[in-house]
C-alpha cells in the first residue's frame, strides 16, 4: 500500500517535473532576450554608437551573425555580408582591389574593413552614411554588391522558420521588419572590435616592442599619427592623400556627398589596425603591398588644390625606416579578432 | 497555466507600450483629406496629360511625399505641437491621402502647420517603422536621408532615356535642405471643443514647376540627390497645399 502510494507520489512528481520543464521550455521561447555586455578598453574614446536605441542582447547578436553570414539574402544567393567582410582579413576583402558583388559585378571602391565601427561617426569611404544602423541597407540593395530589393530580402526571411524563431528570440515576436533586421546586423557588427593586438599589450605594459618595432613606433608617431591617430589609428576625417586620379573610376570622393569642391578627392582616413592583413590598400585598392604605400608617401604624392597640408612635402621614408615601420605596423594585427570563433560563420539558417 | 500567464503578461506589456506611445491629451481629432490636382484638374496617374506653366506636356506616374511634425497655431499665436505625426502620402494608395491626428487639445485655432518632408533629427537617426520604414522606397542608402518628395512621369520634351521625368527631392543639411515648413491659415479662428474635425485640402502638382522657380522639362528632367536644383523644387512645393474646407462637429 505504502509502496503504491510512493509510486503514485513518484508518478505525480515525475509528471510535475515534466510539466515544469515543458513550461520552462515555453518560458525560454517567450522570455526577454539576455542583455550582453561589451567589454571595451579604458584607453579608447567614448563610443559614438547610441546603444540606448539598440541594446545588445545575446539573441540579437546571434540573429545579426546569422544574417551577416547568409548568402541567400543576395540576388544570386552567393554573396553574404561576410563574402566581402572576411574575418581572416579583419572583415575586409582579402586580395580584392574593388568590391566584388552578385553575378561577378565589380564595384568602384575597395571593401572597407569593418571593425571598431561603434567609434565611427560616419561610414563608407565618402562618409555618405551617417548612422551605423542604416549602413546595412547599402550593401544589401546596391546593384554591385548584394543587389536585392529590400522588400524581397524581408519576404525571404519572413518565410523562413528559423529566422522567425530567431526574430522572436531577439525581439519578442516573429515579425521580420527592416528596423529589426538592421538592429540585429549592427548588434553583431558592434562586437567586431579590435583592441587586442601586441601594440595594445605593449601600451598596457604587458609586453615590449623589439628594438626595430620601437623605432617603427617612433617613426609612426612622427610621420603618420596626425591622421592615423591612436588608439583607433584613424581620426575619422576625410583627406586627399595625393593619389593620382584613376581616369577609369574618376572618383571624386567626398565631393559626391557634399557637392563641395573643397571635398574633391577626399576619402576617409582608414584605421592602420590589422593593416598587414587588409591588403590591398587605398579607397580603390590600387596598392597590393604595404611597401607600395610607403613608396607613394615617399615620392608619389600628386599636388592638387585639396591635397592635405600635412602631405605638401610627402613623407620621406628610406629603406631602413620602411622596414622599421613595417615591423611596427605588424604589431597592430589583432589575432583575437582574426580567430575569435564567436565571430565566425554559424550554421546558416536553412 | 504558466503559458497563459506569460501570454497575459506579454499582452499586458504590449498593451502598455501601445497606449503610452500614442497617448495624447485632448479630445479633438483631425482628419485631413488630401486631393491631388494639377492646376485645378484632378490628378489621374499614367493616363492623363497635363501642361506646366510654360506649356510643356507631361504625365504623372508617381507622386509621393512626406508630411510630418504637425502643429496648430492658437488664436493667441502660441503653437501646439501634435507629436509623432509622420505620414507618407502616396497618390497610388487612396488610404494614404487621409491623415488622422488624434488627441488635439481644446482651444481656438488659427492655422495648421506641418513640414513637407521629414525633420532632420529623424533623418539622421536610426531605422524606423511605419511610414518612415525604408522599405517604402523613400530613403537614399548611399547618402543618408529620406526622399522628402517624389514625382515621376514623362514629358515629350525630356531629354532623359524614355523621355522620363524623375524628381526625387531630398537632402536635409545646409546648403541643400529640402524640408519645407507650411502654415495654412484657417478661414477664421476656430474654437475646438471636442469631436472630429474634417479638413479638406488640395495638393497641386502644377506648383512644383511654377513659382518662384519656373521649370522647363526640356532643360531639366529631374534630380536624384541633394543639390541646388532640389532646393529650387522644394521652394516651389512649399506652395502646393490649399485648405478648401473645414467641417467642425
Per-residue pLDDT of B144-201, as tens digits, reads 999 999 999 999 999 999 999 999 999 999 999 999 999 999 988 889 999 999 999 9
Tell whether B55 lies on the interface with A, counting CB pairs under 8 A. Answer: no
Tell me, what's the pLDDT at B188?
Answer: 84
Q: What is the mean pLDDT of residues A283-291?
A: 97
Per-residue pLDDT of A38-57, as tens digits, reads 999 999 999 999 999 999 99
Statement: A58-190 belongs to CATH 2.60.120.340: no
- Is A224 annotated as contributing to ligand binding? yes
Return the closest-CA partner of residue B75 out of B188, B183, B182, B181: B188
Neighbours of B155 (CB within 10 A): 22
Which chain B residues are within 8 Å of A50, Cβ to Cβ?
A: 126
Per-residue pLDDT of B82-121, as tens digits, reads 999 999 999 999 999 999 999 999 999 999 999 999 999 9
Q: Which of A23, A257, A259 sits opposite B2 (nearest CB)?
A: A23
Tell me, what's the pLDDT at B189?
Answer: 85
Separation between Cα atoms, residue B184 and residue A172, nearest integer Å: 42
In the predicted model, what is the mean pLDDT of chain A?
A: 91
Residue A154, pLDDT above cutoff 80:
yes
Residue A227, pLDDT above cutoff 90:
yes
Helix, coil or strand: residue B162: helix
Confidence label for A255 from pLDDT (cuts 50, 70 and 90): very high
Q: What is the DSSP string of A152-198?
A: HHHHHHHT-HHHHHHHHHHHSS----HHHHHHHHHHHHTT-----SH
B142 and A128 within 8 Å at the Cβ level: the answer is yes
Tell me, what's the pLDDT at A31?
Answer: 77
Per-residue pLDDT of A291-327, as tens digits, reads 999 999 999 999 999 999 999 999 999 999 999 999 9
Tell me, what's the pLDDT at A102?
Answer: 84
Q: Is residue A63 within 8 Å of residue A250, measured between CB atoms?
A: no
For the entire predicted model, the pTM comes to: 0.88
Q: Nearest 10 degrees: CA dihedral of B91, B94, B95, B98?
A: 70
Domain ranges of chain A: 58-190, 198-332
- The b-or-e profile of B76-91 (16+ CB within 10 A means b, else e) is eeeeeebeebbbbbbb
B144 and A27 within 8 Å at the Cβ level: the answer is no
- Lookup: cell for A211: 628594438
* Lowest-pLDDT choice from A62-66, A297-301, B4-8: B4-8
A142 and B142 within 8 Å at the Cβ level: the answer is yes
Residue A30, pLDDT above cutoff 80:
no
Q: Which residue of B has its CA nearest to A172?
A: B10
Separation between Cα atoms, residue A150 and residue A138, nearest integer Å: 10
User: Which residues is B169 bridged to in the sheet?
Assistant: B149
Separation between Cα atoms, residue A114 and residue A117, nearest integer Å: 6
Give Cα separations from A127 to A123, A130, A253, A270 (angstroms).
Answer: 5, 7, 9, 12
Work out the percent of chain A whose per-residue pLDDT is above 90. Answer: 82
Candidates 1.10.238.10, 1.10.760.10, 3.90.650.10, 2.60.40.10; CATH matching A198-332: 1.10.760.10
- Lookup: cell for A319: 629603406
* A209 CA: distance to closest CA in chain B (Å): 42
Tell whether B125 lies on the interface with A, counting CB pairs under 8 A. Answer: yes
Tell me, what's the pLDDT at B10?
Answer: 39
Residue whose cell numbers read 562618409: A127
User: Which residues is B198 bridged to in the sheet?
Assistant: B31, B247
User: Residue A126 phi/psi, 5° resolution?
Assistant: -105, 5
Q: Which residue of A has its CA nearest to B7?
A: A30
B141 and A137 within 8 Å at the Cβ level: the answer is yes
Tell whether B247 lies on the interface with A, counting CB pairs under 8 A. Answer: no
Q: Is residue A111 within 8 Å of residue A93, measured between CB atoms?
A: yes
User: Which residues is B196 bridged to in the sheet?
Assistant: B29
Confidence label for A29 from pLDDT (cuts 50, 70 and 90): low
Which chain B residues are within 8 Å of A130, Cβ to Cβ?
A: 124, 144
Residue A2, pLDDT above cutoff 50:
no
Tell whether B226 lies on the interface with A, counting CB pairs under 8 A. Answer: yes
Contacts of B65 (CB under 8 A, 6+ apart): B88, B89, B116, B117, B148, B149, B150, B203, B237
Confidence label for A350 from pLDDT (cuts 50, 70 and 90): low
Confidence label for A143 from pLDDT (cuts 50, 70 and 90): confident
DSSP state of A220: H
* B215 CA: distance to closest CA in chain A (Å): 22
Which chain A residues are within 8 Å of B6, Cβ to Cβ?
A: 26-27, 30
* Lowest-pLDDT choice from A12-26, A181-195, A262-276, B129-143: A12-26
Q: Is residue A293 within 8 Å of residue A287, measured between CB atoms?
A: yes
Confidence label for B26 from pLDDT (cuts 50, 70 and 90): confident
* B209 CA: distance to closest CA in chain A (Å): 24
User: Which residues is B41 bridged to in the sheet?
Assistant: B38
Per-residue pLDDT of A195-224, as tens digits, reads 999 999 999 999 999 999 999 999 999 999
Higher-pLDDT residue of A13 and B29 is: B29
Residue A17, pLDDT above cutoff 70:
no
What is the length of chain A? 350
Q: Which residue of B has its CA nearest to A124?
A: B142
Residue whose cell numbers read 594585427: A333
A142 and B127 within 8 Å at the Cβ level: the answer is no
Tell whether B142 lies on the interface with A, counting CB pairs under 8 A. Answer: yes
- Is A228 annotated as contributing to ligand binding? yes
Tell me, what's the pLDDT at A219?
Answer: 98
Residue whose cell numbers read 607613394: A296
* B50 CA: distance to closest CA in chain A (Å): 32
Per-residue pLDDT of B217-240, as tens digits, reads 999 999 999 999 999 999 999 999
Work out the percent of chain B whose per-residue pLDDT is above 70. Answer: 90
Tell me, what's the pLDDT at A3?
Answer: 53
* B141 CA: distance to closest CA in chain A (Å): 5
Q: What is the mean pLDDT of residues A148-167?
A: 95
Tell whether B127 lies on the interface with A, counting CB pairs under 8 A. Answer: yes
Q: What is the mean pLDDT of residues B37-41?
A: 96
Q: Which residue of B has its CA nearest to A256?
A: B143
Separation between Cα atoms, residue A292 and residue A296, nearest integer Å: 6
* Lowest-pLDDT choice from A90-99, B40-49, B165-174: A90-99
* B111 CA: distance to closest CA in chain A (Å): 35
Tell me, what's the pLDDT at A27?
Answer: 46
Tell me, what's the pLDDT at B129?
Answer: 95
Separation between Cα atoms, residue B174 and residue B177, nearest integer Å: 5
Amino acid at each position: 500500500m505504502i509502496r503504491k502510494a510512493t509510486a503514485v507520489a513518484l508518478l505525480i512528481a515525475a509528471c510535475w517535473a515534466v510539466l515544469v520543464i515543458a513550461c520552462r521550455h515555453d518560458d525560454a521561447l517567450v522570455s526577454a532576450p539576455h542583455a550582453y555586455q561589451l567589454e571595451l578598453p579604458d584607453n579608447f574614446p567614448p563610443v559614438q554608437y547610441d546603444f540606448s536605441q539598440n541594446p545588445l542582447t545575446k539573441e540579437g547578436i546571434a540573429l545579426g551573425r546569422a544574417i551577416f553570414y547568409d548568402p541567400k539574402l543576395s540576388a544570386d544567393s552567393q554573396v553574404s555580408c561576410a563574402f566581402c567582410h572576411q574575418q581572416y582579413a579583419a572583415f575586409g576583402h582579402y586580395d580584392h582591389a574593388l568590391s566584388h558583388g552578385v553575378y561577378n559585378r565589380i564595384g568602384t571602391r575597395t571593401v572597407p574593413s569593418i571593425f571598431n565601427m561603434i567609434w565611427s561617426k560616419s561610414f563608407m569611404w565618402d562618409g555618405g552614411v551617417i548612422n551605423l544602423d542604416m549602413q546595412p541597407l547599402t550593401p544589401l540593395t546596391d546593384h554591385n554588391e548584394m543587389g536585392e530589393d529590400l522588400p524581397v530580402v524581408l519576404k525571404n526571411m519572413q518565410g523562413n522558420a528559423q529566422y522567425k524563431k530567431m526574430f522572436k528570440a531577439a525581439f519578442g515576436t516573429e515579425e521580420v521588419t527592416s528596423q529589426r533586421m538592421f538592429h540585429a546586423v549592427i548588434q553583431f557588427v558592434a562586437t567586431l572590435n579590435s583592441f587586442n593586438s601586441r601594440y595594445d599589450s605593449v601600451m598596457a605594459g604587458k609586453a615590449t616592442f623589439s628594438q626595430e618595432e620601437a623605432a617603427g613606433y617612433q617613426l609612426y608617431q612622427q610621420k603618420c599619427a596626425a591622421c592615423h591617430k591612436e588608439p583607433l589609428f584613424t581620426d575619422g576625417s576625410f583627406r586627399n592623400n595625393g593619389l593620382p586620379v584613376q581616369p577609369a573610376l574618376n572618383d571624386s570622393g567626398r565631393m559626391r556627398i557634399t557637392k563641395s569642391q573643397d571635398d574633391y578627392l577626399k576619402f576617409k582616413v582608414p584605421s592602420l589596425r590589422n593593416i598587414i592583413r587588409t591588403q590591398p590598400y587605398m579607397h580603390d585598392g590600387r596598392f597590393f603591398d604595404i611597401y607600395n604605400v610607403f613608396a607613394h608617401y615617399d615620392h608619389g604624392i600628386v599636388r592638387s588644390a585639396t591635397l592635405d597640408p600635412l602631405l605638401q612635402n610627402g613623407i620621406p621614408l628610406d629603406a631602413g625606416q620602411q622596414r622599421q615601420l613595417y615591423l611596427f605596423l605588424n604589431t597592430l594585427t589583432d589575432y583575437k579578432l582574426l580567430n575569435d570563433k564567436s565571430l565566425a560563420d554559424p550554421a546558416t539558417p536553412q | 497555466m504558466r503559458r497563459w500567464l506569460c501570454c497575459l503578461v506579454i499582452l499586458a506589456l504590449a498593451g502598455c507600450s501601445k497606449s503610452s506611445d500614442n497617448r495624447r491629451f485632448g479630445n479633438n481629432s483631425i482628419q485631413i483629406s488630401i486631393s491631388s490636382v494639377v492646376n485645378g484638374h484632378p490628378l489621374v496617374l499614367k493616363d492623363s496629360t497635363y501642361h506646366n506653366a510654360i506649356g510643356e506636356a507631361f504625365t504623372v506616374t508617381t507622386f509621393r511625399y512626406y508630411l510630418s511634425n504637425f502643429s496648430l497655431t492658437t488664436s493667441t499665436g502660441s503653437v501646439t505641437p501634435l507629436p509623432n505625426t509622420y505620414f507618407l502620402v502616396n497618390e497610388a494608395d487612396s488610404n494614404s491621402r487621409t491623415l488622422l491626428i488624434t488627441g488635439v487639445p481644446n482651444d481656438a485655432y488659427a492655422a495648421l502647420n506641418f513640414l513637407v518632408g521629414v525633420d532632420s533629427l529623424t533623418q539622421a537617426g536610426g531605422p524606423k517603422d511605419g511610414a518612415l520604414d525604408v522599405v517604402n522606397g523613400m530613403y537614399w542608402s548611399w547618402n543618408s536621408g529620406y526622399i522628402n518628395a517624389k514625382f515621376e512621369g514623362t514629358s515629350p520634351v525630356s531629354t532623359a532615356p524614355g523621355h522620363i521625368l524623375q524628381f526625387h527631392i531630398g537632402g536635409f543639411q545646409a546648403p541643400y535642405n529640402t524640408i519645407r515648413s507650411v502654415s495654412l491659415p484657417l478661414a477664421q479662428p476656430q474654437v475646438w471643443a471636442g469631436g472630429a474635425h474634417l479638413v479638406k485640402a488640395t495638393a497641386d502638382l502644377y506648383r512644383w514647376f511654377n513659382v518662384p522657380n519656373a521649370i522647363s522639362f526640356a532643360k531639366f528632367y529631374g534630380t536624384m540627390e541633394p543639390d541646388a536644383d532640389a532646393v529650387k523644387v522644394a521652394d516651389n512645393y512649399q506652395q502646393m497645399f490649399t485648405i478648401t474646407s473645414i467641417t467642425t462637429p
